[in-house]
């Protein structure tokens, strides 16, 4: 057993904070491999293991501050013995007749993520080489550099790629420690997954969606809306809109306008929850979900209740265009009190959207389709659209959700307003 102690990182230093264990008890560690990290006064330090072996005991947990020379762990050298122990199986335990593959269900160290360590071994890499490695998903540690000082050159990468196409799989790879159990013997197949870190936007979206589902009691109610009147208004004004304002007139500003009427009639749908209080917002700021190439953003039409259909269409076109070219200002995505998502654009007739926190409801707009419907026992062709309202049942009861959606529906079905 070798004791691992808190090292002294300077003359005046009497203690250190152990911030992170790089190994778990039972894991194998090489001599000089980073074993833990400590922190002193804005300096993070990796501490290498003093010996090779199995991390037998961890005596100081992460976050604890201890004096220098305090024993923080013990390493058992008998198992490892410096041998690279691909699977640290105890030879004695393996019955001599058993096939070699089955011999090692012993806790193998988790496979090292094959990312992020390439630069170290091969000296500085040119941006070009890094780019090629990234694009072709190459582990650079598998390439022998032929440049100055063993540096990996573009030619080396090209040669490696050429070789890889010929012999699929990691021909020259060092034995990768796969969890041995269920892998069929012929493991030399091309990688089955491609690992790509999420963009910050994607991580943020993921976090927000799960947070919202955890926060609100989501309920969705769906109403069928006859958009025929709106469709006629739209048909009549479309060309005029295009020539006079350079805007194509869509259904969306009509829905926004109708939603404003609904929010005026039922202010609780325009509220949010803070602790045990209900915050009624005096402004009606409507977020419009905009799909981006690889994500989404919800820019906000401020004081939507002060705009007519023309103003709303202009705001929607402007926000969407700037969202896509990433030119929105921070305050243009904040302060929304209600959201609308227009998945109908993508052909969806009904969906159940997730609430945009801290709001309490979101209106989803399906595609507008000509549909045969029964009116006064006659069959007619009408432009039908399904509106789905997802609301937070903590604050909004079912009947209220339906009253709100009913109001939106009524405004759309009986459209009488001038749009200009």
**Residues in the site for another protein, rule: CB under 8 A?**
9-13, 19-20, 32, 34, 37, 39-46, 48, 119-121, 123-128, 130, 149, 151, 199-201, 203-205, 295, 297, 326-330, 333-334
The string of DSSP letters for 88-154 reads ---GGGS-TTS-GGGG--S-PPPPPPSSS-HHHHH----HHHHHHHHHHT--GGGS---SGGG---H
282: left (phi over 0), alpha (psi -120 to 50) or beta: alpha
- CB 197 to another protein: min, Å: 11
- CB 362 to another protein: min, Å: 18
- CB 133 to another protein: min, Å: 11
Instruction: Identify the CA nearest to 29 among candidates 84, 70, 72.
Output: 84
Catalytic member of 32, 44, 240, 397 = 397
- CB 149 to another protein: min, Å: 7
The string of DSSP letters for 90-107 reads -GGGS-TTS-GGGG--S-
Choose between 42 and 192: whose C-beta lies nearer to another protein: 42
- CB 390 to another protein: min, Å: 21
- CB 68 to another protein: min, Å: 12
Question: H or E segment at 215?
Answer: helix 200-215
Beta-strand relationship, 338-341 and 286-288 = parallel
Choose between 133 and 231: whose C-beta lies nearer to another protein: 133
The partner residues of 223 in beta bridges, in order of sequence, read 387
Choose between 144 and 177: whose C-beta lies nearer to another protein: 144
CA–CA separation, 408 vs 410, rounded Å? 5
Beta-strand relationship, 65-67 and 15-21 = antiparallel
Structure tokens at 316: 């929607």
Question: In sequence order, which residues have a C-beta less than 8 Å from that of residue 45 and are 6 or more positions away?
Answer: 9, 37, 38, 39
Residue 393 annotated among the catalytic residues of the structure? yes
Beta-strand relationship, 300-301 and 361-365 = unpaired
244 CB neighbour count, 10 Å cutoff: 11
Task: At 391, give phi and psi (nearest 5°).
Answer: -130, 160
- CB 127 to another protein: min, Å: 5
Choose between 48 and 406: whose C-beta lies nearer to another protein: 48
- CB 396 to another protein: min, Å: 26
Residue 139 annotated among the catalytic residues of the structure? no
The partner residues of 338 in beta bridges, in order of sequence, read 286
Structure tokens at 278: 């209900």
Q: Are 141 and 118 in contact (CB under 8 A)?
A: yes
Choose between 118 and 344: whose C-beta lies nearer to another protein: 118
Choose between 38 and 362: whose C-beta lies nearer to another protein: 38
ω into residue 358 within 30 of 0, thus cis?
Answer: yes
Choose between 92 and 113: whose C-beta lies nearer to another protein: 113
How far, rounded to the nearest angstrom, does the alpha carbon of residue 228 sit from its chain's CA centroid?
39
Q: How far is CA 358 from CA 17, 234, 268, 337, in A?
A: 38, 33, 13, 8
Catalytic member of 218, 223, 281, 393 = 393
Choose between 47 and 75: whose C-beta lies nearer to another protein: 47
For the chain, the straight-line distance linking the first and the last C-alpha, in angstroms and rounded, comes to: 84
CB-based burial label for 216 (10 Å; 0-12, 13-18, 19+) = buried
Q: Give the residue numbers marked as catalytic.
A: 393, 397
């Amino acid at each position: 057993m070798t004791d691992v102690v808190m090292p002294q990182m300077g003359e005046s230093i009497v203690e250190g904070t152990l911030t992170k264990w790089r190994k778990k008890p039972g894991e194998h560690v090489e001599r000089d491999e980073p074993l833990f990290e400590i922190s002193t006064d804005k300096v993070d330090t990796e501490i290498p293991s003093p010996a090779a072996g199995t991390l037998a005991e961890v005596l100081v947990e992460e976050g604890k501050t201890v004096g220098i020379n305090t024993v923080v762990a013990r390493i058992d050298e008998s198992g490892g013995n410096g041998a690279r122990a691909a699977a640290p199986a105890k030879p004695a335990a393996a019955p001599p007749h058993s096939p070699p593959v089955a011999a090692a269900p012993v806790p193998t160290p988790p496979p090292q993520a094959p990312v992020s360590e390439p630069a170290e071994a091969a000296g500085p890499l040119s941006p070009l080489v890094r780019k090629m490695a990234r694009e072709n998903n190459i582990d650079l540690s598998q390439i022998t550099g032929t440049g100055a000082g063993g540096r990996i050159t573009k030619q080396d990468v090209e040669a490696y790629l050429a070789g890889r196409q010929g012999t699929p799989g990691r021909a020259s790879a060092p034995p990768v420690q796969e969890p041995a159990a269920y892998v069929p013997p012929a493991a030399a197949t091309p990688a089955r997954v491609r690992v790509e870190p999420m963009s910050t936007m994607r991580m943020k979206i993921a976090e927000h969606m799960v947070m919202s589902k955890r926060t609100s009691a989501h309920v969705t109610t769906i109403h069928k809306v006859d958009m025929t009147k709106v469709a006629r208004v739209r048909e009549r004004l479309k060309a005029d809109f295009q020539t006079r304002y350079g805007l194509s007139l869509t259904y969306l500003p009509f829905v926004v306008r109708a939603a404003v009427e609904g929010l005026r009639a039922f202010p609780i749908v325009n509220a949010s929850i803070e602790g045990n209080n209900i915050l009624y917002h005096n402004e009606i700021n409507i977020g419009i979900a905009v799909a981006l190439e690889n994500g989404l953003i919800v820019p906000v039409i401020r004081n939507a209740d002060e705009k007519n259909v023309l103003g709303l269409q202009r705001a929607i076109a402007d926000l969407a265009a700037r969202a896509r070219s990433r030119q929105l200002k921070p305050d243009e995505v904040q302060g929304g009190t209600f959201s609308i998502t227009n998945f109908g654009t993508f052909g969806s007739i009904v969906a159940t959207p997730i609430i945009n926190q801290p709001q309490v409801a979101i209106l989803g707009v399906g595609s507008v389709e000509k549909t045969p419907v029964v009116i006064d026992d006659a069959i007619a062709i009408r432009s039908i659209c399904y509106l789905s309202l997802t609301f937070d049942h903590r604050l909004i009861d079912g009947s209220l959700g339906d009253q709100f959606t009913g109001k939106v529906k009524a405004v759309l079905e009986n459209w009488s307003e001038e749009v200009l």
